[in-house]
Structure 1
């Protein structure tokens, strides 16, 4: 079985990392055919991502879900990519993302307030937080949000490295298309939806109707899908190594960056050689060559990261390629990092003990790696408990000796 077949096998999808280590022993760029290559080295992957001579492969398939993605910034090449991205990127400037932090902190605390002692973290938190944030940005009503998780899961199945047509992906594309078509026509639509509709209606060629619809769907799905996986993958690491909790509290940003490197939500992307004279890792790439970039392998390249299979939040110069690089770097990468940093800070502060409740289940994917379920048991810090639950046994027996709650029992987040 070759490396690609091994990665696509059930065991390879469940645990690709031994295959990545094998690939690194063979070299940074591995030929599949004369015009197809597997790129696994950090420097080589970074080189391809940043070189404008490499572009997004055009998919000749008539599959609706893939056609939808081809019309969005995810799969567009210049000049269409730059034209669309310049419009959409205005909402993801560093200043605008930083201004979202108070709202994200409130959303995190509201979700944590509602968690029972035993809960599926993926369902009740990892999905709920990013879908709340992206829907607020888009102007999608709260009543509609719960329906998007299964639709996003079905739609992104089309990104996997298989040739099989996926009817569920096409059905999801159709349902999401119908939803946003209605939202676009709603005169009360707010947020980024209304801004992009205005750009489309301007008639200056910046955004077509088809591109508007495709990019709204992409923003919704990409806005929570990878962040959901980032949160789940990070918590799974904490469950396996609870001694890392002090590192989270001391530098949550570094912890999140190491999660991105160690167990990236996006493991694979693809490129095609569009111009003459290209190379990667010292290997020539003829025009039309197809490249499979293993981001997850690049993030565990021993030539770039010492002891790559060890989770170390204290790594220096830690710059994983999980969100890509170059012109197609993920627009929402800073937002995802901010959401995860706030989430892990508040989660570990409020719950000093987080333990597995039962066996988790991973999604059966290679490209987008994450958990379907992650059942956990939570022990609440007494500072966050209701006043009655914070009384000592003596105070419970003698209420007159209960503490004055006017100041000390105020919300410690303030």
Structure 2
């Protein structure tokens, strides 16, 4: 570990300072020392009448299973005025931000697309995309550094998900930019103008998917959009707006988390070269590496819940209507649950990170995201066994959905 990296991993402040720093650009860039500092206040931290911060593994498991803690749905976002923004107008029409009974209805409709059989069938798309983009990297490599995020980590998921949805290749990268912009709506908002990039990204995605739905209704194919249009028209299980919103979320979830997971896995493979080499020949090691990456530095750091009623939560009162910020990334390093939690260790037993949630809202796309990363990273490492970082990677200014903005590498084969 370099001196700079050592400095970035050492807790340097108290809990009050850590809390004020957490959602600043610097805090988002390196939040783990802040989580460590916040642990001094315990696994559940009251933030006043409007919120509670939850860091503990068992505590977050309880909250995610407790029906009194609701997802922030249309009613919540209407009360806060966020529903006036097109980003949240779309997000509140998907199962991720819906409570019973709408959540179950939407989940039943979409479950087939994320089944183990469907994920297995799509593996060949991930292999094809990974091999294609590693070959393209070899063509581009001239001895100088290149950005692996833009050239590989982003390209594989947008190729796989775009192919599944029947999106022409010429349209995919413009949509990729809109996806990242839309996810900024998940961040805590201190000024409504901060939602403008998310709104612009969402407007592009909604318009594009709405047009694609109409096209597939006129001329169906064998892609996911065609199947969902057919099922929706046959059953009436979703409204037209819910169908389009669900496809928008399918695109976002199929691209953003896998892209961030691939980037982080590559970074960790370069820091742990023995394990990285092992991934090129051992499928079990690949699976363990993905799981430990999801624990050590997941692509999703925070989930938000709203208390539907007053809740006595581990000795703290969470008032009805207040928010509970569930810090998954801190729970994944809970010292009560994980031995030596700040150490990356793929040999951990009973390694069950909370990175894709838990309970009724467990992410349907978790297996799909894992499959893309498990497939893509070994292909890259086999092709470029001497790949090396060309400077410290930089992160996007996001914490809820966290990943690299840029990671320069050299690709000596």
- Check conservation: 1:226, 1:265, Cα contact below 8 A: yes
Partners of 1:87 and 1:217 in 2: CA distance: 15
Structure-to-structure mapping, 1:161-310, within 5 angstroms: 161-165=188-192, 166-186=195-215, 187-190=218-221, 191-202=223-234, 204-249=235-280, 250=282, 251-275=285-309, 278-310=311-343
The residue matched to 1:320 in structure 2 has which SS?
coil
Alignment of 1:79-228 (within 5 A): 79-116=101-138, 117=141, 118-165=145-192, 166-186=195-215, 187-190=218-221, 191-202=223-234, 204-228=235-259
What aligned pairs does 1:54-69 form with structure 2 within 5 A after superposition? 54-57=69-72, 58-60=76-78, 61=82, 62-69=84-91
- CA distance in 1 between partners of 2:41 and 2:123 (Å): 44
CA deviation string 1:212-251 (max 9, x = no partner): 1111111111110011001111112223333432443440
Shift of 1:205: 4.1
Residues of 1 paired with 2:134 and 2:377: CA distance? 11
Give the length in aligned residue pairs: 378
Structure 2 residue matching 1:368: 3-state secondary structure? coil
2:52 aligned to which of 28, 32, 37:
37
Deviations 1:56-108 (A, max 9, x none): 12212211111110111121111111101111111111122122223322221
Match of 2:370 among 329, 337, 353: 337
Q: Identify the structure with the greater helix proportion.
A: 2
Say whether 1:318 aligns with 2:374. no
- Secondary structure of the residue aligned to 2:333 is coil
1:19 maps onto 2:34 in alignment: yes
Any conservation in 2 of the 1:43–1:281 contact (CA below 8 Å)? no
Give the counterpart of 2:399 among 360, 366, 374.
Answer: 366
Check whether the contact 2:307–2:318 (CA below 8 A) recurs between aligned residues: yes
Q: Is the 8 A contact 1:28 1:281 kept in 2?
A: no
> In structure 2, what is the Cα distance between the partners aligned to 1:353 and 1:248?
14
TM-score, normalisation: structure 1: 0.87
Partner residue in 2 for 1:355 = 388
Q: 1:133 & 1:375 partners in 2: Cα distance?
A: 23
Unaligned regions of 5+ residues in structure 2, if any? 1-15
SS at match of 1:37: strand
| Higher CA-based Rg | 1
Q: TM-score, normalised by structure 2?
A: 0.87
CA–CA separation in structure 1 for the residues paired with 2:291 and 2:93: 31
Alignment RMSD (CA, Å): 1.8
* 1:176-211 superposed Cα distances (whole Å, 9 cap, x missing partner): 111111111112353121122223323x54100111
Q: Deviations over 1:367-398 (max 9, x none)?
A: 11111111111232xxxxxxxxxxxxxxxxxx
- Once the two structures are TM-superposed, the CA of residue 2 in structure 1 deviates from its matched residue by 4.9
The alpha-carbon distance between structure 1 residues 189 and 132, as it changes in their structure 2 partners (threshold 3 A), is farther
Deviates more, 1:74-83 or 1:241-250: 241-250
Counterpart CA distance in 2 for 1:328 and 1:138 is 23
